């Protein structure tokens, strides 16, 4: 199994290593590091892995070749690496939430790049993964070719979902959900737009296809641990980008793409727009018709935006030219393949729990079900 030891933590009177599980796809001189969000695992990036490399077949069974980059890589292809953050999937689960922050998890990602022998990479993150990507860009800007932030917020109170009748209903149902079936119904409404869920796939709706896949996945893969879930929630809650860090990113010399679903009720669009504005002139805002999992709901449009970023970097496009491009404000979204997209990321609704716990100032009033990703 491909693991990378990224650090150590104290467990009583002994030190334990933190191991990160990762997979590599495709081969090429262009390197892309994908950082997933809260409670997600590496395979949540399935639509982007396929779109960037053309295959979902892992390439990490091959021997690592740290000299690839110095030797010119493997031609014009793209090599992607994605991984399970600490606290999720097959990676280590440190027992205390103090071992979780976006800065710590950014150093995990940096250690993985060192392990792979990657001097530089395009770094793309989703949700909490985008917060981690921001920290990585501020900590080691010289290691980035470009930065893409999908469904991102600035952490802390910006993690609170929009409070309206729909969200209150979802939060109430989330808190009451005791079975995978009950959780599945809430999760689908939280992550996707109603139009997407009601699309016909064969003889049934996409909602039914995804619901069945979701329940099946929980039964086969189990739940995220309490320690991992609470640690990652802590990382989101304590995340903050200082003015100095944003200045570092803005002056680092790479381009930034901020990609967001217009109907995201978990990470509000206004926060992403504010972040993009703070990173001008190097940032472009890409607004798509979709919700929190816009990377699954509109994979073609998201993949096109990512490829635009890679190509603009390769052609050394000037920041002013990059940010001056018209916003993508598609009303209809990309064409949807007849093949259903399997849900592989769960429990971003954890921010709902986080918000309610902080607002009501009640610690551990509940232990919601931790749901696991579904294998692609």
pTM: 0.84
Report the run of H or E that residue 65 belongs to, with start and end. none
Q: What is the pLDDT of residue 215?
A: 78
In angstroms, what CA-CA distances link 137 with 130, 220, 330?
10, 36, 29
In the chain, how many domains are there? 1
Q: Tell whether 53 is covered by a domain.
A: yes
- Identify whether 175 is preceded by a cis peptide bond (ω within 30 of 0): no
Q: Is there a domain that residue 336 lies in?
A: no
**What residue ranges in the chain does DSSP mark as E strands?**
3-11, 14-25, 30-35, 78-83, 121-126, 144-150, 200-201, 204-205, 255-261, 283-288, 328-329
Q: Is residue 375 part of a domain?
A: no
Instruction: Tell me which residue range forms the domain holding 14.
Output: 3-161+225-324
| 114 inside domain | yes
Give domain status of residue 121, yes or no: yes
Mean pLDDT by 10 residues, the chain (376 residues): 85 80 97 94 94 93 52 74 95 93 97 97 98 98 98 91 73 69 80 94 92 73 78 95 98 98 94 97 97 96 98 97 70 34 42 47 36 40
- Position of tokens 């081969």? 27
- Specify the DSSP class assigned to residue 45: G
Give the per-residue pLDDT at 356: 46
For residue 313, is it within any domain? Answer: yes
DSSP 5-43: EEEEEEETTEEEEEEEEEEEE--SSEEEEEE--TT--GG
Residue 361 domain-assigned (yes or no): no
Residue 328, phi then psi, degrees to nearest 5: -85, 110
Paired sense of beta strands 30-35 and 78-83, if any: parallel
Here the CATH number for the domain that contains residue 60 is 3.40.50.1820
**pLDDT of amino acid 329:** 47
Residues 349, 346: Cα–Cα separation, whole Å? 8
Q: Is residue 122 part of a domain?
A: yes
> Which residue from 56, 54, 48 is spatially nearest to 24, judged by alpha carbons?
56
Q: Beta strand 255-261 with 144-150: parallel, antiparallel or unpaired?
A: parallel
pLDDT for 273: 97
């Amino acid at each position: 199994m491909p693991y990378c030891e990224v650090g150590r933590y104290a467990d009583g009177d002994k030190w334990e290593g933190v191991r990160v599980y990762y997979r590599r796809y495709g081969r090429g001189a262009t390197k892309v590091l994908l950082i997933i969000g809260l409670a997600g695992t590496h395979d949540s990036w399935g639509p982007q892995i396929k779109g960037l490399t053309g295959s979902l077949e892992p390439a990490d069974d091959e021997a690592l070749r740290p000299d690839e980059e110095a030797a010119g890589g493997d031609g014009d292809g793209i090599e992607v690496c994605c991984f399970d953050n600490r606290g999720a999937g097959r990676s280590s689960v440190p027992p205390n939430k103090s071992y979780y922050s976006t800065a710590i998890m950014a150093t995990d990602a940096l250690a993985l790049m060192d392990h792979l022998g990657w001097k530089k990479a395009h770094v793309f993150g989703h949700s909490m993964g985008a917060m981690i990507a921001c920290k990585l860009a501020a900590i080691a800007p010289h290691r980035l070719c470009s930065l893409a932030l999908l469904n991102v917020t600035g952490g802390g109170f910006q993690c609170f979902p929009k409070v309206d009748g729909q969200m209150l209903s979802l939060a109430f149902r989330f808190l009451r959900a005791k079975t995978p079936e009950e959780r599945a119904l809430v999760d689908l409404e939280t992550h996707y737009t109603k139009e997407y869920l009601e699309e016909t796939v064969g003889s049934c709706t996409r909602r039914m296809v995804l619901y069945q896949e979701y329940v099946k996945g929980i039964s086969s893969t189990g739940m995220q641990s309490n320690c991992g879930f609470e640690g990652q929630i802590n990382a989101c809650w304590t995340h903050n980008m200082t003015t100095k860090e944003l200045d570092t990113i803005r002056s680092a010399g790479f381009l930034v793409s901020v990609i967001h679903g217009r109907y995201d009720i978990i990470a509000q669009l206004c926060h992403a727009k504010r972040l993009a504005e703070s990173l001008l002139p190097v940032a472009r805002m890409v607004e798509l018709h979709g919700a929190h999992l816009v990377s699954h709901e509109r994979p073609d449009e998201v993949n096109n935006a990512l490829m635009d970023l890679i190509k603009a970097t390769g052609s050394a496009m000037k920041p002013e030219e990059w940010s001056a491009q018209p916003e993508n404000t598609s009303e209809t979204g990309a064409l949807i393949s007849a093949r259903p997209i399997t849900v592989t990321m769960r429990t971003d609704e954890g921010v709902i729990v986080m918000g309610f716990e902080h607002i009501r100032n009640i610690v551990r009033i509940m232990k919601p079900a931790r749901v696991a990703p579904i294998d692609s």
